[in-house]
Amino acid sequence: MITTTIGSLKKNSSSPRVILGTVMTGLSGLCMILTLIPLIAVLFFVFVQGFSRLDTDLFTQLPPPPGLDEGGLANAIIGTLVVVGIAVVIAVPVGVLAAVYLSEFSHGNKFATSIRFATNVLSGVPSIIAGIFAFGLLVSSGIVGFSAIAGGVALAVLMLPTIIRTTDEALKIVPQEIRWAALGVGAYNYQTVLKIVLPAALPGIVTGITLAIARAAGETAPLIFTALFSNFWPNISPQGLAEPIATLSVLVYNFAILPFKPQQELAWAGSLILVLLVLGTSILARLATRRKVY
Amino acid sequence: MQESLRNDEELLRQSVIELMDVDIFYGTYKAVKEVNLNIPKNKITAFIGPSGCGKSTILRCLNRLNDLISSFKLKGRVTYHGQDLYAKDIDPVEVRKRIGMVFQRPNPFPKTIYDNVAYGARVNGYKGDLDELVETSLRRAALWDEVKDKLGESGFSLSGGQQQRLCIARTVAAQPEVVLMDEPCSALDPISTLKIEELMQELKENYTIVIVTHNMQQATRVADMTAFFNAEAVGNKGNKVGYLVEFDQTEKIFSNPEEQSTKDYVSGRFG
Domain range list for chain B: 2-85+94-108+174-266
Q: Where residue B7 falls among pLDDT bands split at 50, 70, 90? A: low
Could you tell me which CATH class the domain B2-85+94-108+174-266 is placed in? alpha beta
Label the pairing between strands B208-212 and B178-182. Answer: parallel
pLDDT digits (tens, 9 = 90+) for A190-249: 999 999 999 999 988 998 999 899 889 889 999 998 888 888 888 877 777 888 899 999
ipTM of the complex: 0.81
Report if residue A169 sits inside a domain. yes
The C-alpha of A191 sits at a distance from chain B's nearest C-alpha, in angstroms, of 7
How high is the pLDDT of residue A2? 63
Three-state SS string over A217-273 comes to HHCCHHHHCCCCCCCCCCCCCCCHHHCCCCCHHHHHHHHHCCCCHHHHHHHHHHHHH
The C-alpha of B20 sits at a distance from chain A's nearest C-alpha, in angstroms, of 23
Average pLDDT over residues A180-184: 89
Report if residue A275 sits inside a domain. yes
In the sheet where B29-40 sits, what is the strand order?
B83-84, B72-80, B15-26, B29-40, B239-249, B225-234, B44-48, B208-212, B178-182, B99-102
Q: Where residue A22 falls among pLDDT bands split at 50, 70, 90? A: very high
Please tell me if residue A178 touches chain B, with a CB cutoff of 8 Å.
yes
Burial profile B241-258: b = 16 or more Cβ within 10 angstroms, e = fewer: bbbbbbbbbbeebbeebe
How many other C-beta atoms lie within 10 A of the C-beta of residue B214? 15
pLDDT digits (tens, 9 = 90+) for B203-230: 888 899 999 998 888 999 999 999 999 9
Report if residue A26 sits inside a domain. no
Q: Where residue A156 falls among pLDDT bands split at 50, 70, 90? A: very high
The C-alpha of A148 sits at a distance from chain B's nearest C-alpha, in angstroms, of 40
Report if residue A122 sits inside a domain. yes
For residue B97, the chain A residue with the least C-alpha distance is A186
- Phi and psi, residue A226, nearest 5°: -125, -60
Question: What percentage of chain A carries pLDDT values higher than 90?
Answer: 46
CA neighbor of B69 nearest in space, from A107, A113, A174, A99: A107
B100 closest CB neighbour out of A185, A188, A293 = A185
Report if residue A83 sits inside a domain. yes
Instruction: Answer yes or no: is pLDDT of B1 > 50.
Output: no
B174 closest CB neighbour out of A185, A191, A294 = A185
Q: Are B220 and B250 in contact (CB under 8 A)?
A: yes
pLDDT digits (tens, 9 = 90+) for A36-65: 999 899 989 999 988 888 888 888 888 888
CA neighbor of B38 nearest in space, from B75, B66, B7, B79: B79
> Which residues in chain B have Cβ-Cβ distances shorter than 8 Å to A184?
63, 65, 96, 100-101, 103, 171
Total domains in chain A come to 1
Q: Are B197 and B218 in contact (CB under 8 A)?
A: yes
Name residues whose C-beta falls within 8 Å of residue A57's C-beta, 6 or more positions apart in sequence.
A70, A71, A72
The verdict on a CB contact (< 8 Å) between B96 and A107 is no
Please tell me if residue A196 touches chain B, with a CB cutoff of 8 Å.
yes
Burial profile A90-111: b = 16 or more Cβ within 10 angstroms, e = fewer: bbbeebbebbbebbbeeeeeee
How high is the pLDDT of residue A88? 96
Using CB atoms and an 8 Å cut-off, which of residues 20-79 of chain A contact chain B?
Answer: none
Which domain CATH number covers A151? Answer: 1.10.3720.10
Q: Are B31 and B54 in contact (CB under 8 A)?
A: yes
How high is the pLDDT of residue B79? 92
How high is the pLDDT of residue B11? 53
> Which residues in chain B have Cβ-Cβ distances shorter than 8 Å to A291?
none
What is the torsion angle, in degrees rounded to the nearest 10, for the CA atoms of residue A265, residue A271, residue A277 and residue A283?
Answer: -120
The verdict on a CB contact (< 8 Å) between A187 and B101 is no
> Which residues in chain A have Cβ-Cβ distances shorter than 8 Å to B124?
185-186
pLDDT digits (tens, 9 = 90+) for B88-132: 899 989 999 899 999 988 999 999 999 999 998 888 888 889 999
Q: Are A78 and A140 in contact (CB under 8 A)?
A: no
A180 closest CB neighbour out of B65, B70, B173 = B65
How far apart, in whole angstroms, are the C-alpha atoms of residue A49 and residue A271? 9
The verdict on a CB contact (< 8 Å) between B63 and A188 is no
CA neighbor of B174 nearest in space, from B84, B69, B95, B65: B95
Please tell me if residue A184 touches chain B, with a CB cutoff of 8 Å.
yes
How far apart, in whole angstroms, are the C-alpha atoms of residue A207 and residue A209? 5
For residue B99, the cross-strand partners are B178
**Residues counted in chain B:** 271
Kindly tell me the sign of the dihedral angle through the C-alpha atoms of B65, B70, B76, B81.
Answer: positive
- Phi and psi, residue A280, nearest 5°: -60, -45
Report if residue A33 sits inside a domain. no
Please tell me if residue A107 touches chain B, with a CB cutoff of 8 Å.
yes
Name residues whose C-beta falls within 8 Å of residue B3's C-beta, 6 or more positions apart in sequence.
none
How high is the pLDDT of residue A9? 82
The verdict on a CB contact (< 8 Å) between A175 and B107 is yes
The C-alpha of A202 sits at a distance from chain B's nearest C-alpha, in angstroms, of 11
How far apart, in whole angstroms, are the C-alpha atoms of residue A64 and residue A72? 7
The C-alpha of A186 sits at a distance from chain B's nearest C-alpha, in angstroms, of 4
The verdict on a CB contact (< 8 Å) between B120 and A200 is no
Report if residue A256 sits inside a domain. yes
How high is the pLDDT of residue A153? 94
DSSP conformation letters of B44-58: EEEEE-STTSSHHHH
Averaged pLDDT score across all residues of chain B: 87
Three-state SS string over A167-227 comes to HHHHHHHCCHHHHHHHHHCCCCHHHHHHHHHHHHHHHHHHHHHHHHHHHHHHCCHHHHCCC
A185 closest CB neighbour out of B68, B105, B171 = B171
Please tell me if residue A293 touches chain B, with a CB cutoff of 8 Å.
yes
Q: Are B44 and B222 in contact (CB under 8 A)?
A: yes
Please tell me if residue A193 touches chain B, with a CB cutoff of 8 Å.
no
pLDDT digits (tens, 9 = 90+) for B229-269: 998 888 777 788 899 999 999 999 998 898 888 888 888 87
Q: Where residue A3 falls among pLDDT bands split at 50, 70, 90? A: low
* DSSP type of residue A62: P
Instruction: Answer yes or no: is pLDDT of B12 > 70.
Output: no
List strand residue ranges (DSSP E) for chain B, in order.
15-26, 29-40, 44-48, 72-80, 83-84, 99-102, 178-182, 208-212, 225-234, 239-249
How many other C-beta atoms lie within 10 A of the C-beta of residue B268? 8
Q: Are B239 and B233 in contact (CB under 8 A)?
A: yes
The domain of A114 spans: 56-290
Instruction: Answer yes or no: is pLDDT of B3 > 80.
Output: no
How far apart, in whole angstroms, are the C-alpha atoms of residue A77 and residue B266? 76
